[in-house]
A and B are shown apart, each in its own frame.
Chain A
């Protein structure tokens, strides 16, 4: 006789498809998930507490170590948040370079997502293709700031130095070869029958649930809501850029895949505009060596590859260190939706759901 009882299993924290140290407690009825509880905190380092005890300049290096896949976006959020706190206006050239690097980082992040997500679901080839282009982007970051992942690319008030010689040429070379690469990924996946079977209609999350759960980024846009912070609250040089917000109405894993690929094309467009319209001028604003804040609190959101990344600062009068720093990590908030997406579905769809949310544990646990 078959036993008719619920089974409780742990997915992770050491599981290759949980993208880090995520642990998901699952209650299974056969192969159907009846209850799904994500358990986090295995990578908690207390970044917020550390940043309270370091100056605004020192704290910036911690932002690389939160979302280590998209560290330039994190650098941008920190730098712009602090600039908002102090009221610093950044030179236009610095804004353009920031925008360009952030978009290149978005490409790198989406490529890593595509590679690992496809690998989780079973498409091995895309992994190698996507990493080929990502490598080129990481070489560009290395040329700019000397690091591939932990970049600390920006400084408060602008950039540490201008673009290195030959950077624009290499960036343009990447631009010229990248669009056919996206077509290659699409050829491998978009009409692939196995891929569609694993993604169409899987891990649905409609627009109302997305907004109620605070889910942002490609997941929200794949539910048909054209909400992008680059358009809604333009930062850096996004107000001067011409680009579209790709959306899909289906709200499933396949729609999110299409939205992210369309976003990569838009990022490509933005980088091209940055290269062509790069203004001349200084890259650093005039700021004192020691920044002393006034009593102020700011919340600065930017559009990271995974969603809304917000930095909340409280400044003390005469303080060189933030009185309080809080990070609104997109993965942290998005991961709350995992239970809603997977309950009542099959166990194999949990892997697809974790992949499609595109979570990074360094950012969730901070």
Chain B
């Protein structure tokens, strides 16, 4: 005979609520302002922006002209002096040494060769600030790296750097991962870029470039992107029990508890008292021990 199963589940200890837990995530200066734009350099975006800006400028000018015609007609009817005709605004020219490097069409032989070899796996190629950029499909990154390393006319033997950037405002991706390749024999450089959404696991470059080992661990540590077929996908700079990924844009930059308070502004000692209370609630003893 088996005993009847107790229908009542064992009572779980309730999570402490109320004033005993200091909700540091809700502290006012931990509220992070997320970026609203997606600063991903791209020739296509830039060209679209130029076209939009030109159209807006033209529309503004047409509106000025139309307003002028209306004002002129009104002045004629009322018998006043005709208003001044509008002057088209010239872009302001700053007197400084800045020459902003805009993205330009790819004319470089390496980039064209790469596009020829990879075909439709290439999403975009362009040049900016004297650097070559090639964006490939996220599934084809290993193939692209292999072509870069092994093709006789490319020979990018060294993976100099690999890093990633978080774009929380982007719609169809969350991170860009860039591979900075160097050809030691030809003295050339190339930036390979992939865009990955949250949760996507790109292939690790370790099988082709062993130097990717620590760089990918750093990316995982800082941004939480995992890589498939990596020999040791663990944290590298932070301790292994660290919570969160520091280089994500939603990660706050201020500390916990009493650090939320700027004591320099605390004239009446009110903040100090609050901090002591909060620290007490968190189980931290900030008070100086009294001498017996």
Contact = CB atoms under 8 A, between A and B. Distances in A.
Contact of B39 (A225, A233, A315): A315
A97 B42 CA distance: 36
A75 B40 CA distance: 26
Nearest to A208: B157
A286 interface: yes
Given A53-B253, A299-B191, A317-B37, A286 B214 contact: no
Interface of B is mostly: loop
Interface stretch (B19-27, B92-100, B268-276): B92-100
Contacts of B166: 324
A227 B165 CA distance: 29
B41 A41 contact: no
Nearest to A49: B246
Contacts of A365: 237
A296 B37 CA distance: 13
A310 B129 contact: no
Nearest to A158: B97
A40 B235 CA distance: 10
B160 A89 contact: no
A9 B46 CA distance: 56
B216 to A, nearest CB: 12
Contacts of B180: 299, 310, 312, 328
Given A86-B98, A299-B180, A48 B39 contact: no
Given A89-B97, A316-B35, A317-B37, A49 B253 contact: yes
Nearest to B251: A49
Interface size bracket, A side: 35 or more
A236 interface: no
Contact of B160 (A41, A53, A328): A328
B100 A294 contact: yes
A41 B239 contact: yes
Interface size bracket, B side: 35 or more
A118 B251 CA distance: 44
Contacts of A333: 211, 214-215
A212 interface: yes
A297 interface: yes
Contact of A324 (B94, B165, B187): B165
28 contacts: A40-B237, A41-B235, A44-B237, A48-B222, A52-B247, A86-B98, A88-B98, A211-B157, A212-B211, A295-B46, A296-B129, A297-B41, A297-B133, A299-B161, A299-B178, A299-B191, A310-B161, A312-B163, A312-B180, A314-B41, A315-B39, A316-B37, A316-B39, A323-B35, A328-B163, A328-B180, A335-B214, A336-B211
Given A44-B237, A317-B39, 8 more contacts: A53-B253, A211-B184, A213-B211, A233-B187, A286-B96, A297-B128, A314-B165, A328-B180
Interface of B: 35, 37, 39-41, 45-46, 94-102, 128-131, 133, 157-161, 163, 165-166, 178, 180, 182, 184, 187, 189, 191, 209-211, 213-215, 218, 222, 235-239, 246-247, 251, 253
Interface of A: 40-41, 44, 46, 48-50, 52-53, 84-89, 157, 211-216, 225, 227, 232-233, 285-288, 294-299, 301, 308, 310, 312, 314-317, 319, 323-324, 326, 328, 332-333, 335-336, 365-366
